[in-house]
Structure 1
Amino acid sequence: MKATILNVGTELLVGSTLNTHSYYISQKLHEIGVGVLYHAVVGDNPVRLEDMIGYYYDTSDLIIATGGLGPTEDDLTKEIFAKWFGVPLYFSEEIREDIEARFRGFGRPMTPNNLRQCYVPEGAEILWNENGTATGFILEKDGKIAILLPGPPRELRPMFEKQVIPWLRQRVSQVLTSRYFKIFGLGESATEDRLSDLFAAQINPTLATYAKTGEVLLRVTASGASDSENQKLLEPMVEEIRSRIGDHIYAERDAELSEVLFELLRDKGLKIALAESCTGGMMADMLVSHSGVSEVFGVSVVAYDNAVKASVLGVPAETLETFGAVSEETARAMSEGISKISGAELCISVTGIAGPDGGTEKKPVGLVYMDLYNSLSREHRTFKQVFTGNRERVRQASAMKAFYEAIQWLKADLTIASKEI
């Protein structure tokens, strides 16, 4: 089955609203073995919408349309698709009762224009909306399928996952199974180079790389009659990938560095503390984006100014004067300082020159020192790197590098057993 995703809405076309639907729906369709041929966006114009339906109706088995199911005059998706499929609209008392009940829950009467949302294309299957008033629909004609979904993501996603995916699964003969690898410290071209013969010979399974900020996502996909059959196809290639680039793989799923670090700390019963200079709180922000992180993270100090490095973290004035704020010695003193404040087992410090100003011949823009300190064994692991790119890129790369090295250390030997010292 081949699909087109057609996003309807002038706000998407002019860039007023970020279009996340194509990304989300494509991922979900891939997981169940539905290939996507096209992404398209059209404004709230009935003539252009009808033209788009005509084009993609001829080239696709399935059109998934988002948006244009609201109560206003420019919400015409349902009407245009009904016209194209050659069916009339009928008024649904069941939908009217559902919308009225929802408005009673809001504590206000239903507005008259919401009655527009009670009309259903004849023969369509109704997709109920648990978070709004716009019902979705599935239409079929001559082997072609159209699925109409509401525009707001909080309405579309539950409808898609709970109703559309099960419906489509029953109609897809092939099953796709994917395994993922998150790779750090090896670029997309270098990853493909190490796996060049696998890429050249790929038939089933297939490989694909996706460059992300500072890292690479590698996807390996098998196609077969069942997930268990696909897993057997995948395993030899998965083992080969591990043997070739395992030193750069930090997760075998599509996860963030901060997420993997949090999970490792939680599983080992360890706590982390941060002392940030050039990253300016970015590392703390990455960690606290994950629910439950308070189990492992309690203290972060942004010591951007040397006076704060000295007064709060206890970095000796002599260290700052002799070696400078951007130095291995200062990084080590910062991590030891946050250790004394927090009592955490793993302490990370970052100090550097994010730019665009402040660099010298000896200490260029992009120079960063990162120190990891095990407060139980009193062991340091310090890393020096010169990152390229703008200020934001240097800060982000520094945070990601520090987290990656922390993950590697935790996987290797920084364990709860250290608490017995």
Structure 2
Amino acid sequence: MKIQLLLTGNELMSGHTVDSNSAMIAQQLAAKGYGIARKVTVGDDSAELLAEMKQQSQASDVLIVNGGLGPTIDDLTAQILSELTGQVIEENIIAKEHLINWCQRHRLALNDANLKQALLPAGVEVIPNPVGSAVGFSINHNDCLIICTPGVPNELKPMMEQTIVDMICQRFPNNKEPSTIRFQTFGLGESTLQQLVNNQLSDWPEEVELGFRSGMPLLEIKLTIHDANHSQLQQQCYLRLSALIGDYIIGPQSTTLAEAVILLLKEKNAQITTAESCTGGLIAASITEIAGASSVFEAGFVTYSNSMKAVMVGVDNAVLLEQGAVSEPVVVAMANGAMVNSGADYAIAVSGIAGPDGGSEEKPVGTVWIAWGNRYKLNTRRLRFNASRQWFQKMVMATTLDLIRRDLLGIEEEPHYLRHYSR
């Protein structure tokens, strides 16, 4: 069974819009054991669209057309499908009712431009759009199921989840639905991890696919099988890999560093605070974006200037003058002051030089002092992340969250990345 994807729109061709839809479509289909054989992107050109739609419908079992369903003159998908199939354009009752209800919900008047979205080729099956004004639709042509979808990502995703994937599964049943164990790691690169597997787990079975998805800051590891009879083997591989890299595993599925820290703090009935300079509140933001964070986090302090370090978290001005803001005594004072002022049990404090300017020979751009721990024991480290300002800030955020995670777990062995970035 062959699935092809046709993406439409001048904005995609010009680069003004970055295509995220094809990745989402592929991921949704892959979860059911289907793959995309080919994808093509074309602009809002009638002749090009018709030629591609004709060629792809002849060469595939399913053709997903993405984009071109809107109310403007350059939204051409319905018209091109009409020309391809020989079905006349007519007002679709279901699509019109959807438009009327959508406009009423949004307190908008139904105008002629919107009504264009109800003009569809005769004989199509409407696909509900729970978010936007344009319904999707499908039709069989050339022994191909052609599915036309809106280009707006937050409209397309629920349509894929609620209707389109099931439509394809019913039309082309698949007994090869994969089963995947996914988990997140921090502090190991793909090549390092692969070499560990090569050296320590050289008898890795071919029935279990080992995959990686590198992100920032986490690395996702996937163990996939295509036969339910191999589930025990899959679990054995997971246990062996966990024993090899256990300290670097953050959690299952899409667990973030902040989620892992929050869970551990809840288990200890403890609270954490942050005192941030070079990260500008990024560490606190990563914590508070998680629902339920208020049970473990009441306050954080963004002390960007020296004067605010003194006023907000009680750093001694004499220490600031003698040692400089980017120093061990300052981050220790920041962490202790933040815990005193917030009443928290644990703290993270950072002060560094994010760049691109402001460095010196003694403290080059990318240098950061960090402190993490509790009111009885604080750990400190000087690190250097030689990268862009944004990457520096994200790495400081991720590193400090991982270090406090390790502290909460009672892991005493230092992760290897500390040695790598200690310069």
Residue 280 of structure 2 is matched in structure 1 by: 280
CA RMSD after TM alignment: 2.6
| CA distance 1:313–1:105, change in 2 (3 Å) | closer
Taking the TM superposition and a 5 Å limit, the aligned residue runs for 1:116-265 are 116-141=116-141, 143-170=143-170, 171-196=173-198, 203-224=206-227, 229=229, 231-265=231-265
1:232 Cα deviation after fit: 2.8
User: Secondary structure, in 3 states, of the residue corresponding to 2:372?
Assistant: strand
Asked if structure 1 preserves the Cα contact closer than 8 Å seen for 2:250 and 2:256, the reply is: no
Amino acid at match of 1:393: W
Matched ranges for 1:13-412 at <5 A: 13-141=13-141, 143-170=143-170, 171-196=173-198, 203-224=206-227, 229=229, 231-375=231-375, 378-412=376-410
Give SS of 1:133's match. Answer: coil
| Conserved? CA contact 2:313–2:338, under 8 Å | yes
Question: 1:59 and 1:232 mapped to 2: Cα distance?
Answer: 39
Q: Determine helix, strand or coil for the equivalent of 1:312.
A: helix
| Structure 2: gaps spanning 5 or more residues | 413-423
Q: Percent identity?
A: 31
| SS of 2:364 mapped into structure 1 | coil
CA distance in 2, matches of 1:276, 1:55: 57
Q: CA deviation at 1:316?
A: 2.5
* Equivalence for 1:419: none
**TM-score, normalization by structure 1:** 0.88
Question: Per-residue displacement from partner, 1:78-105 (whole Å, max 9, x unpaired)?
Answer: 2323433454444322332332233344
Per-residue CA distance 1:267-291 (angstroms, 9 max, x = gap)? 4432221100111222122223333
Write the distance in 1 (CA, Å) between the matches of 2:286 and 2:60: 41
The AA in structure 2 aligned to 1:138 is S
CA–CA separation in structure 2 for the residues paired with 1:333 and 1:284 = 18
- Rate the CA distance shift 1:268–1:160 in 2: closer, same or farther, 3 A: farther
Give the length in aligned residue pairs. 409
Cα separation, 2, equivalents of 1:46 and 1:213: 40
Rounded to whole Å, the distance in 1 between the matches of 2:237 and 2:81 is 44
Change (3 A) 1:22 1:264: farther
- Change in 2 beyond 3 A, CA 1:119/1:267: farther
Offset at 1:152? 2.0
What is the CA deviation profile of residues 107-152 of structure 1, one whole-angstrom value per residue up to 9, with x for unaligned ones? 4442124333234444432211222321111223454222211122
Q: 1:272 to 1:33 in 2, by over 3 A?
A: same
What TM-score do you get using the length of structure 2 for normalisation?
A: 0.88
- Find the residue that maps to 1:158 and give its secondary structure: helix
Q: CA deviation at 1:199?
A: 8.8
